[in-house]
Amino acid sequence: MKKKVIIAAVAIVCAVAAGLFVFRGQRPYRDLKASHVVSAAVRLSPPDQTIPIAEADMEELVSYLNEVVIYNEDQSYTEYAGQAAIFTLQMADGTREEIAAYNPFVVINGTGYRTKYEPCEKLNRYANKLLNRAK
């Protein structure tokens, strides 16, 4: 009897640990610094308008990207309707990143991921703030 209780307890602990590992989010831009970004722009769709992001605003953009949390890959974002804020970053190493904030998804270089709501919403609000400022 005692052995069965110990085995059950170990199984429960293992299941909880596996669940935490599987459902734990990743922060793909956690280590991004403003100095890594040469230039950036955001396209809001709708209204299908592109706004360049000034160098003075790069720290703010990077702070929002640092907070982005992604979970499992999910391409069902194509079935949703709403506004997308698509950030295009030209990196100092010559690469280009395209990050679309499309709650409850973030699309990174064409691959969709489920995301944590708040950081994605901050990116969308930031893009709309830039749009309003550009008007």
Q: What is the pTM of this model?
A: 0.82
In a domain, 118, yes or no: yes
Average pLDDT over residues 108-122: 96
pLDDT at 24: 62
In a domain, 4, yes or no: no
> Which residue in 98, 97, 105 sits closest to 72, CA to CA?
105
CB 24, CB 116: distance < 8 Å? no
Provide, rounded to the nearest whole percent, the portion of the chain with pLDDT above 70: 83
In a domain, 10, yes or no: no
Provide, rounded to the nearest whole percent, the portion of the chain with pLDDT above 90: 76
In a domain, 32, yes or no: yes
pLDDT at 10: 55
CATH of the domain at 93: 3.30.1490
Domain that holds residue 41: 27-134
Q: How many domains does the chain have?
A: 1
> 36 exposed, middle or buried (CB, 10 Å; 0-12, 13-18, 19+)?
middle
In a domain, 9, yes or no: no
Average pLDDT over residues 69-86: 93
In a domain, 17, yes or no: no
In a domain, 3, yes or no: no
